[in-house]
Amino acid sequence: MKNINLIAEPFKDYELIDSGANNKLERYGKYTVSRPETQAIWNPLHSGKWGKADATFRWADGKGGWSRNSIPADWKISWQDNYFSLRLTSFKHTGIFPEQAPNWEWSANLVDKIKNPQVLNLFGYTGAATVVAAKHGAQVTHVDASKQSNEWAKENARLSGADSKNIRYILDDALRFSEREVRRGVKYDGIILDPPAFGRGAKGEVWRIEEDLPRLLVALKKLLNLKQGSFFLLNGYAAGYSPLSLAQLVQDVFPNVDGEYGELRIPESGSKRFIAEGIYARFII
């Protein structure tokens, strides 16, 4: 597999304004947000901009919380012709991961080339990848163990004008669901997954990435339709692994494929710096 770091260029409703001192300052639409970023161990370049943030996330006594100035409970941004509802969560997230934009484009282009594409999105969260694939004509099975995330994904699909008939929302544990799909003999033309380091399924199942991801990939190999044009995308966020670790796991399960792996980077406006926000490994049959 080739080592290629993907750069998520800023778009109309998103930019990384500044970073440093273990934090990052971002603009989502017309609002600016300051939140922790462990990768940013350097110094900020624009210290005067941070105090003007519309919301700031801080840790205190082992707990985190937001202080708000003039930011609403939720607001909307767009990427291309897709629209997403954002809100400030207790885990310091906003409901969207802009570093995934190169993967959204990649999967959309592949979906366009497949006849009647069937796509599985595991750990689907708020559904950006689901919305993009569905709007390009895919029948998407969106799986997440959080009812709240699934409802948020449905809201984003409505905002973006995705046909509800193109998306099936499943509230379930990703591993258990995938293994049941194997027993059913189901096949998918595209598989996307973004597993956490640790999590719990819809019925309290415990997910530990170091134990369960290899087992999940074995099931997904049986679910992937091994025909020309089918695709596989594995993302990693805060899991502590290098991109090479993901690539070698993928090659261990899919030994006869070639693809790409690397970091998902966001450039900082007006500088030559980047933040590596995640890692990925992907391939096309």
Residue 271 has pLDDT above 90, yes or no: yes
Superfamily for domain range 93-284: Vaccinia Virus protein VP39 (3.40.50.150)
SS in 3 state form for 127-154?
A: CHHHHHHHHCCCEEEEEECCHHHHHHHH
Output the pLDDT for position 238: 66
Interval 137-148 mean pLDDT: 97
Confidence label for 91 from pLDDT (cuts 50, 70 and 90): confident
Contact 193, 123 (CB under 8 A): yes
| Mean pLDDT, the chain, integer | 95
Q: Which whole number is the average pLDDT over 259-265? A: 98
pLDDT band at 204 (very low <50, low <70, confident <90, very high): confident
**Mean pLDDT calculated for residue range 24-45:** 97
Superfamily of domain 7-77: Golgi alpha-mannosidase II (2.60.40.1180)
Residue 200 confidence (pLDDT): 85
Of 132-141, 153-162, 163-172, 202-211, the poorest mean pLDDT is in: 202-211
Helix locations, 57-173, DSSP H? 101-112, 128-135, 147-160
Domain limits of the chain?
Answer: 7-77, 93-284
What is the pLDDT averaged over residues 194-204? 85
**93-107, 174-188, 229-243: least confidently modelled range:** 229-243
Per-residue pLDDT at 203 exceeds 90: no
**pLDDT for res 228:** 95
| pLDDT in the model for residue 267 | 98
Mean of the pLDDT values across residues 117-131?
98
Q: Strands 118-122, 274-284: parallel, antiparallel or unpaired by DSSP?
A: unpaired
Is the pLDDT score of 173 beyond 90?
A: yes
- Whole-number pLDDT of residue 239: 64
From its phi and psi, is residue 89 left (phi > 0), alpha (psi between -120 and 50) or beta?
Answer: beta
How far is the CA of 45 from the CAs of 11, 18, 37, 133, in angstroms?
21, 7, 15, 38
- Which of 3-12, 80-89, 231-240 shows the lowest mean pLDDT across its residues? 231-240
pLDDT value of residue 59: 86
C-alpha span between 93 and 88 (Å, rounded):
6
**Could you tell me what percent of the chain has a pLDDT over 90?**
89
Mean pLDDT of 237-249: 88
What does the pLDDT average to over 123-129?
97
Of 151, 143, 164, residue with least CA distance to 219: 143
Do 19 and 32 contact (CB within 8 A), yes or no?
no
**Angle (CA) 25 30 36, round 5°:** 20
**61 confidence band (pLDDT: 50, 70, 90):** confident
pLDDT at 6 over 70: yes
Q: Do 7-77 and 93-284 come out as alike in CATH topology?
A: no
